[in-house]
Amino acid sequence: MTSDTSLRQTALHDRHLAGAARMVPYAGFSMPVQYAGILQEHAAVRHRAGLFDLSHMGQFELTGDAVAEWADGLCTNAVATMKPWQARYNIFCNERGGAHDDTIFYRLDGRWLLVVNGANVDKMWDLLNDALPANGIELQSFHGKRALIAIQGPKSVEMLASHVPVDIGALKYYFCTETTVDGVPALLARTGYTGEDGFELFVDGDAASGLWKNLLDRHSGEGLEACGLGSRDVLRLEAGMPLYGHELTEEITPIQAGQSWAVKLNKSFTGRDALEAQVAAGDYSRIAGLIMTGPVPAREGYAVQHGGQNAGDIRSGSRAPSVENKNVATALLDPGAAALGTELEVEIRGKSHPATVVPLPFYKRSQPSK
């Protein structure tokens, strides 16, 4: 447990301490890295459901008639074509095409919610403010004031259903609705970052602690577990989802990160020309999935070689329970080393360890949500 008083606390901090979570500094907050253990929490999310505190992430709201057109000029994915109550993954790039941040846009009733990575809150706040037109668009931050609770896993619909007065099973994947959860006003979205079905609940900070307790009290007997950021990282890595600072950075573009599906080159936005040139040239280093052949896990920063030549470096690595318990990793690789099936060597403590390039994601759930 950290006693660093410079760290901020989420509305769920006392719940984390009461649950004996191990707390670590993360994005300026004291956050739970694990409760019962990463493997146990991982299993809960893959087979039942897990509860995550994501209140460290930035929540900005935008209002005004021109938000969609304005935002479309700033980020890679289409905003203007979003339907009301739809959510969409999006990336804000610099002029070189590198990523400022990857985000989720939620189109609400006359306003827009933008969720940004906790580590990028200040950067994104400044970026958006600097880009605001003189009038017509209002930007407001709820960072630290509003909580974000995620319930993720195949049992999340059945566990959450009795707490909500609407049919959440009918809510489509990447859509949201305003409702109540245990009587607390909430924006409920069928989104998440674990590779499982699940929901994210945006609620007022004052209401979060009671809601967290209700959910755990009611459903721990069915296998709901409080989870930390450690298991979330393993889950998202298995699901092939980039984590900012690892697979996406100011230097790594969405095209390199394999997120070209979220880049709409048929519109104008910051970084578009650089990304178009990168696509046209085709000879860019790119994020690839690796499976280690041996028992040693690959970790961020380890050098990767191909035929005795430096070919890139590891960006994330972990033991992957959903991938036959093998060690998986992502690496930023030279194009000649990134083809599926390529045999590589990862340098670990002075020794070479074999790895093979495999498709991403490593893990895909068998039954996607609606």
Partner 1 sequence: MGRPEELLYSKEHEWVRVEGDTATIGITDYAADSMGDVVYVELPKVGAGVKQFGTAGVVESVKAVSDLYAPVAGEVVEINDTLENDPAAVNKDPFGSGWLFKVKLEGGTPPEGLLDAGEYERLTA
- Does residue 319 bind partner 1 (CB under 8 A)? yes
Of residues 187, 201, 234, 311, which one binds partner 1 by CB under 8 A? 234
Out of 72, 101, 197, 233, point to the residue binding partner 1 (CB under 8 A). Answer: 233
Residue 135: what residue type? N
The reply to whether 295 sits near partner 1 by the rule CB under 8 A is yes
Rule CB under 8 A: say whether 123 interacts with partner 1. Answer: no
Least Å distance, CB 196 to partner 1, is 18
Applying CB under 8 A, among 2, 18, 37, 65 the residue interacting with partner 1 is 37
326 binds partner 1 (CB under 8 A): no
Classify residue 267 by its DSSP letter. S
Closer to partner 1 by Cβ: residue 254 or 297 = 297
22 contacts partner 1 (rule: CB under 8 A): yes
**C-alpha count within 13 angstroms, C-beta hemisphere, residue 269:** 29
CA-based nearest residue to 118, from 96, 137, 97, 141: 141
230 lines the binding site for partner 1 (CB under 8 A)? yes
Instruction: Give the Cα separation of 344 and 348 in Å (integer).
Output: 13
Residue pointed to by tokens 């901090």: 13
Q: Does residue 288 contact residue 333 with C-beta atoms inside 8 Å?
A: yes
* Rounded-to-integer distance, Cα 287 and Cα 280, Å: 18
Question: Which CB sits closer to partner 1, 22 or 267?
Answer: 22
Tokens 């519109």 belong to which residue?
267
Residue 27 interacts with partner 1 (CB under 8 A): yes or no: no
Count Cβ atoms below 10 Å from residue 206 Cβ, excluding itself.
12
Residue 35 phi, psi (nearest 5) = -105, -95
Peptide bond between residue 361 and the one before it cis (omega within 30 degrees of 0): yes
Nearer to partner 1, 163 or 232 (CB): 232
Instruction: Return the residue of 308, 341, 349, 368 that touches partner 1, per CB under 8 A.
Output: 349
Least distance from partner 1 to the Cβ atom of residue 39, Å = 5
Closest CB to partner 1 among 83 and 349? 349
Tokens 């896990």 correspond to 297
Furthest C-alpha separation in the chain: 62
Q: Structure tokens of 148?
A: 């974000």
39 touches partner 1 (CB under 8 A): yes
Looking at the Cβ atoms of 197 and 238, the one nearer to partner 1 is 238
Q: With CB under 8 A, what is the number of residues at the site for partner 1?
A: 15
- Candidates 198, 209, 197, 193; CA nearest to 242 is 193
Range in contact with partner 1 (rule: CB under 8 A) among 70-78, 114-122, 176-184, 291-299: 291-299
Query: Which residues are near partner 1 by CB under 8 A?
Result: 22, 34, 37-39, 230, 233-234, 295-297, 299, 318-319, 349
